[in-house]
Structure 1
Amino acid sequence: MKVIKVSPNIYKIETWFMFKMSAWIVTVEDGVYIVDTGMSFMGKKILEEAEKLGNLKAILLTHGHSDHVGGLKKILEIKNVPVFSHEADIKYMEGKEPFPGRKKAQSLVQPGVVQPLEITNGNLQDIDDLTPIHTPGHSPGHVVYYHKKDQVLISGDLFTSKNGQLRKPMAMFTSNMDEAIKSSYVIEDLKPNIVSICHGNDVKEPYKQMKNYLATYS
């Protein structure tokens, strides 16, 4: 696994397991956050890298698929911290129902481990320097995290990328592709300098590509 400094406060941890997989570490004034935990074998390394940068405050999830929550158990065995995701994904990762489009339920986390992100006036509440934004489609509770100071959007699986170009999320793992494409409008709203992508390389000035992206996939 390699660590890439995306921006002054954001680090991306990448590895390969059939395809590129990533998680993120975000530094704040009084500690760090982990965003996603990758596969099981990634968990311990992600925690080690996070604790080089500061005290771990919490784990934030973009969504509940196994390649994003797989390292969670190993991290929590070492460090007892709160874990948050959008409430819409919690029942699926707890194995109460299959994710939409899947035939079988998967018990990926123990009930009660993951708490819902807080909502204020209809919007997800900021967590230090990160603004969570609900971007459903890849999963019902998919969330991106925007770092306004660094102008970076941690996009989870909202996109993939190839040769510096935005691509749609992986179809076989996406619950509702039409909804996922609609959620991509977050790029036009925020105009981040960088969109950081789990299964691909990061893309600079992604808002310049949105007209072509929407024309291709809408």
Structure 2
Amino acid sequence: MNFSGMLASGHTELWEVAPRVIGLRTLFVNVAFIELNPSDWILVDTGLGMYAGSVHNTAMERFGKPPRAIILTHGHFDHVGGLKELLEVWDVPVYAHPLELPYLTGKEDYPPADPAVGGGLMSMAAPLYPYRGIDLGTRVVPLPADGSIPGTSEWRWVHSPGHSPGHISLFRDNDKVLIAGDAFLTVKQESAFHVIKQDQEVHGPPAYFTTDWEDAEKSVRQLGLLDPQIVLSGHGAPMHGIELSQQIAHLCRYFKELAVPGQGKYV
């Protein structure tokens, strides 16, 4: 299927990522449904705006009720696109890192995406990507400073900046499941060819929106030290096992060569 065909068809894919963790791909960005107990769950990110209905319908089919909360890994357009529409039908709190709040309360815009980083069609199209902040007002609140996730003792959040100042990832210690957001990916997001094929390979964060490469490298190393055994990143199919561990180690060792673009205004 070509890229225009995917846009026309409204492509989605559902994964059973790990026990009580479901992933939904909305065209080229993932959201996660985390079951906390048989009667409670949380949503991580909301995907592209045109997929709010898919997110809502999947949630109702699987859980039959709104989430306890929505957790944002960060506020880029492809991770919050359906958020306002979902909040019209779900009266739930939204949590994000304090450093991400200016972009979620209308106070600041993100730096524009940089097409000069190269790597493929997704980078070339970067000038078309929205970068304005959104204003959720009092619906968005800061995550607890102790790293906890409201409503669960199994999961914790980890500050993983670089792609954005307040970027976070979520980790479940008992089985080492990582919701990585865009701290690192399991597809080469700069290339439409790889995005369409969904080739599984650990890569750095989307280069066209990453503004602090020093922090991005530190974040990848920090997440690598957690030794994740199952990963759902913001883009790409879930990965697990020895192949995942080897590729994360390789990215940590050669981050500058593999992830940092040779040119670009944020390099």
Relative to the length of structure 1, the TM-score reads 0.88
Distance in 1, matches of 2:224 and 2:210, equals 22
Partner of 2:46: 37
Which of 203, 217, 222 is the aligned partner of 1:167? 203
Q: Which runs of 5+ in 1 are unaligned?
A: none
1:134 positional shift: 0.5
Residue deviations 1:17-46 (CA, integer Å, cap 9, x gap): xxx211110011131111000111112221
Which of 125, 128, 140 is the aligned partner of 1:114? 140
Matched length: 212
Higher strand proportion, which one?
A: 1
Residue deviations 1:34-69 (CA, integer Å, cap 9, x gap): 100011111222122123333321100000111111
Task: Supply the RMSD in Å over aligned alpha carbons.
Answer: 2.1
Structure 1 residues 65-74 or 146-155, which shifts more?
A: 146-155
Q: Secondary structure at the match of 1:184?
A: helix
1:100 positional shift: 4.5
Which of 75, 80, 83 is the aligned partner of 2:86? 75
Distance in 2, matches of 1:184 and 1:118, equals 22
User: 8 Å contact 1:4–1:11 — kept in the other structure?
Assistant: yes
Partner of 1:125: 148
Q: Which runs of 5+ in 2 are unaligned?
A: 1-11, 115-129, 188-198, 257-267
1:2 positional shift: 2.1
If asked which structure has higher relative contact order (CA below 8 Å, sep 6+), I would say 2
Matched, 1:211 2:234: no
Is the radius of gyration larger for structure 1 or structure 2? Answer: 2
Identity %: 31
Higher helix proportion, which one?
A: 2
Distance in 2, matches of 1:171 and 1:97, equals 21
User: 8 Å contact 1:138–1:174 — kept in the other structure?
Assistant: yes
